């Protein structure tokens, strides 16, 4: 039996299988919906590919993903075109009941991704 040892509270990389799981895809898509809200609902974001991801147990769970997304204009911004972009998406899910998830987004220039 193979054992992996990780430091308590340490950052754990997600496996390629985990990155393709429905649970991860739903978590990332939910975050992208928040990104759309933050952009004033002028763009809708859809997952193209989840490039990498990590999980960390803190006072709750912290996930960090690098995601290639398709950003499409909504009816409020019809003059824009679809664009492929890469984002670093951080999701913090607090352990406290009733506490809201927190999301942060960082657009990564494609020549650095």
- Please write down the HEC assignment for all residues of 23-67: HHHHHHHHHHHHHHHHCCCCEEEEEEEEEEEEEEEECEEEEEEEE
Q: Cα–Cα distance between 107 and 25 in angstroms, integer?
A: 19
pLDDT score recorded for residue 80: 65
User: What pLDDT, on a 0 to 100 scale, did the predictor assign at position 79?
Assistant: 64
What was the pLDDT predicted at 81?
77
**Which pTM was predicted?**
0.84
39 phi and psi angles, rounded to 5 deg: -85, 10
Confidence at residue 4, expressed as pLDDT on a 0 to 100 scale: 56
Domains, the chain, ordered by start = 12-108 (3.10.450.10)
- Write out residues in the chain with pLDDT < 70, as ranges: 1-7, 76-80, 112-113
Residue 51 and residue 32: Cα distance in Å, rounded?
A: 15
Give me Rg for the CA atoms of the chain.
16
Instruction: With beta carbons less than 8 A apart as the criterion, state whether 45 and 32 touch.
Output: yes
The rounded distance, in Å, linking the Cα atoms of 45 and 60 is: 26
pLDDT at residue 113, rounded to an integer: 47
């Amino acid at each position: 039996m193979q054992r992996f040892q990780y430091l308590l509270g340490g950052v754990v990389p997600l496996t390629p299988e985990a990155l393709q799981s429905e649970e991860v895809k739903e978590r990332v898509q939910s975050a992208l919906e928040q990104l759309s809200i933050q952009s004033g609902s002028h763009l809708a974001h859809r997952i193209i590919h989840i490039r990498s991801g990590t999980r960390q147990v803190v006072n709750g769970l912290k996930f960090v993903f690098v995601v290639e997304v398709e950003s499409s204009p909504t009816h409020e911004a019809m003059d824009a075109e679809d664009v492929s972009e890469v984002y670093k998406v951080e999701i913090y899910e607090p352990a406290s009941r009733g506490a809201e998830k927190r999301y942060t987004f960082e657009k990564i220039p494609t020549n650095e991704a």
